[in-house]
Amino acid sequence: GDSVTQMEGPVTLSEEAFLTINCTYTATGYPSLFWYVQYPGEGLQLLLKATKADDKGSNKGFEATYRKETTSFHLEKGSVQVSDSAVYFCALSSGTYKYIFGTGTRLKVLA
């Protein structure tokens, strides 16, 4: 069945460092891919999405490119801030109403 694998955390970075959180997926067909962010004590918020191969989703300085050849959707940000500290979830939806989530990666950014 469909699955999402993302790198385990926690990831600890200094402010202004470069961020990469890896996400790979297994799916039949052509899934839509999402990154969600969860701040402490809150639900998940959509960060960005991509619906087809080579699409690049971007928001708030975060980017991810839908790579069909490597079945990946890695999240990147050029310069992280303390306010980016949160848990990040990679997810896919492949044409049904079932959404598959990764286990989440906790990011901690130090001032």
Q: Which residues bind other proteins (CB under 8 A)?
A: 31-32, 34, 36, 41-46, 49, 51, 89, 93-99, 101-104
Shorter beta-carbon distance to other proteins: residue 57 or 80: 57
**What whole-number distance in Å separates Cα of residue 106 and Cα of residue 1?**
26
- Closest CB 45 distance from other proteins, rounded Å: 7
For 83, the 3-state DSSP assignment is helix
We find the least distance from the C-beta atom of residue 39 to other proteins, in angstroms, to be 10
Nearer to other proteins, 2 or 17 (CB): 2
Nearer Cβ to other proteins (17/22):
22
Task: Assign 3-class secondary structure to 1-34.
Answer: CCEEEECCCCEEEECCCCEEECEEEECCCCCEEE
- Closest distance of CB 23 from other proteins, Å: 12
Nearer to other proteins, 13 or 44 (CB): 44
Q: What are the two backbone dihedrals, phi and then psi, of residue 9, each rounded to the nearest 5 degrees? A: -105, -160
Residue 92 carries which side chain, given as an amino acid letter? L
